[in-house]
Amino acid sequence: MGKKTKIGLAAAAVGAAAWAGSKALSGPQTRPQKAVFSYDHPIVLAHRGGSSLAPEHTMAAFDKAAELGVHGFEIDIRMTNDEEILVFHDEFVDRTSDSAGRVAEMTLEELRALDFGYHFVDENGVHSYRGKGETVVLLSELLEKFPQMYINIDIKDAPDTYEGSLIPSKLWRLIESVNAQDRVVVTSFFDEQVDRFNLYAQNRVALGAGENEVRKAFTSFNSQFGHLYAPRADVFQLPVKHSIFRLDSPRFIGFLDRLNIPVHYWVIDEQDAMEKLIANGAKGIITDRPDIAVKLIAAVEDNQQ
């Protein structure tokens, strides 16, 4: 046996010993169960209210999705110039309204004056909500109107902006004031915003995984040391694919499920894709087509009974 071979075998033995030792000393670091996840079947979350059926983030969209029977909403929030928490996705309002402007530079009164049904076109190519009075929605209004709904709240304002520095504390105070701790999830692509929010919430609200947390989990899953992964999120909301990596495999979903972390996928609008994800173990479908998803989930529940 050559010297290089002996060194290689020794290194492999050391690696195997390290793996075995870490495995013996550590157990699965599961997340404690949060009340918002007390469902026993896959759920449907209407993305921005179901933005293929009505203007996104308007009360028309939320009402329609609720009538269809969704379990909740997946929404985004931003802060206005007068420090109101608005249910809104884009930094600028021109894509969804009849005017231009940056949300953080406009007051609620200025935003209320805009037509947020202006650009929406229905399946017949008709501007069916233009001029119908659709306007912006405050998070407080949404929480009050739909007390039965699971609401996934995504903080969009970046942590290095003025509005982004304020929104975690203001969001916590709002959630606490309406006693919504057990029916919301707070997340952000910015892990720092999730961490800032939790400084106030102290784990009393379910947390979604930011980009860094997802990366850490996926790297751990693909390594020999997945058993050392210590999750900092209660739910993962994922696309089915990121770059060249598939994030929808039954093994990855199972890895997170063993840590008591449900996985929801976005934005899924085709029935066959929904069926595949549910078969793989997904616990939630985030969709612009809640009409399709609700019927599918109902059929799944019927088959399980």
Is 15's pLDDT higher than 50?
Answer: no
Does 103 fall in a domain? no
Q: With cut-offs at 50, 70 and 90, classify the pLDDT of residue 28.
A: low
pLDDT of res. 16: 40
Confidence label for 211 from pLDDT (cuts 50, 70 and 90): very high
- The answer to whether residue 9 scores a pLDDT higher than 50 is no
- Residue 280, in any domain of the structure: yes
pLDDT for 224: 78
Give me the pLDDT at residue 7, please.
Answer: 47
In a domain, 150, yes or no: yes
Residue 217 lies in a domain: yes
Q: How confident is the model at residue 10 (pLDDT cuts 50, 70, 90)?
A: very low
pLDDT at 144: 98
The verdict on residue 125 lying in a domain is no
Q: What is the pLDDT of residue 24?
A: 40
pLDDT tens digits, one per residue of 231-277: 999 999 999 999 889 999 999 999 999 999 999 999 999 999 999 99
Question: What single letter denotes the amino acid at residue 190?
Answer: F
pLDDT digits (tens, 9 = 90+) for 128-147: 999 999 999 999 999 999 99
Q: Flag whether 18 is in a domain.
A: no
Instruction: Kindly report which listed range (85-94, 96-105, 217-226) carries the lowest average pLDDT score.
Output: 217-226
- Averaged over 40-49, what is the pLDDT? 96
Into how many domains does the chain fold? 1
For residue 163, the model assigns a pLDDT of 98
Domain CATH number, residue 268: 3.20.20.190
103-111 average pLDDT score: 98
Catalytic residues: 47, 89
Model confidence band, residue 2 (pLDDT cutoffs 50, 70, 90):
low
CA distances from 292 to 27, 42, 74, 120, 251 (A): 40, 14, 16, 20, 26
Q: Please tell me the predicted confidence (pLDDT) of residue 96.
A: 95
Give a yes or no: residue 100 inside a domain.
no
Contact 263, 256 (CB under 8 A): yes
| 145-155 pLDDT, tens digit each | 999 999 999 99
According to the model, what pLDDT value does residue 171 have? Answer: 98
pLDDT of 12 above 50: no
Contact 198, 181 (CB under 8 A): no
Least confident range of 19-28, 50-59, 114-123: 19-28
Range of the domain at 280: 29-91+142-304
Q: Is residue 161 part of a domain?
A: yes
Query: pLDDT-derived band of residue 22, with 50, 70 and 90 as boundaries?
Result: very low
Predicted pLDDT at 147: 96
